[in-house]
Amino acid sequence: MKQTEGMTLIVKTVTRISVWLILLYGIYIILHGHLSPGGGFAGGVIIALAFLNVMLAYGRNFIKRWVNIGFLHDLESSSAALFLAVGILGMAIGGGFLANFISHGKLFNLLSAGTIPVLNIIISVKVSMGLFVVVWTLSVFHLDKGGKEE
């Protein structure tokens, strides 16, 4: 029964192509968060959905080999600390907690708005990794409750 892990071949083939497009769309949403609708939260959820897509199509064991779940958890926790670090840097340089201390640049440019894109990227890492780790934990918990797979 090794071959039936995950879904059918059609789903796997489509996922293999579409996951990268979904990831690209998520990164676009994050990087353009200060220019167009979207931002760190929305882009983070899109990236988490891409990971979830792989997990549903290929099964749990594949994703365990593909990414290191512990590393994802570390990434999630460290991004929370990075958000605080940006805030404290704003206190040191800009004169207030979470102050916008980088130069604002020109309106409608990709590299503008000071710390806002930085915070968007940090939040997106936090949201995507956090949601995926929660789904992963829920699914593993379900597996162990059944108790027959091991």
What token pair was written down for 139?
A: 């699914």
63-82 residues in contact with another protein (CB under 8 A) are 73, 76-77, 80
d(C-alpha 80, C-alpha 84), whole Å? 7
What token pair was written down for 66?
A: 């593909």
Q: Is 48 exposed, middle or buried (0-12, 13-18, 19+ CB in 10 A)?
A: buried
Point out which span in 3-11, 13-21, 58-66, 103-111 binds another protein (CB under 8 A): 103-111
3-32 residues in contact with another protein (CB under 8 A) are 29
Give the nearest distance from C-beta 58 to another protein in angstroms: 14
Point out which span in 5-13, 17-25, 59-67, 105-113 binds another protein (CB under 8 A): 105-113
Task: Give CA angle at 110 (106, 116), nearest 5°.
Answer: 85
Residue 97 in contact with another protein, rule: CB under 8 A: yes
**What is the chain's alpha carbon radius of gyration, rounded to the nearest angstrom?**
19
Give the nearest distance from C-beta 111 to another protein in angstroms: 10
Which residues touch 29 (CB under 8 Å, ≥6 apart)?
38, 39, 42, 43, 46
Residues that bind another protein (CB under 8 A): 29, 33-42, 45-46, 48-49, 52, 56, 73, 76-77, 80, 83-84, 87, 97-98, 100, 104-108, 112-116, 119-120, 123, 126-127, 130-131, 133-135, 137-142, 144
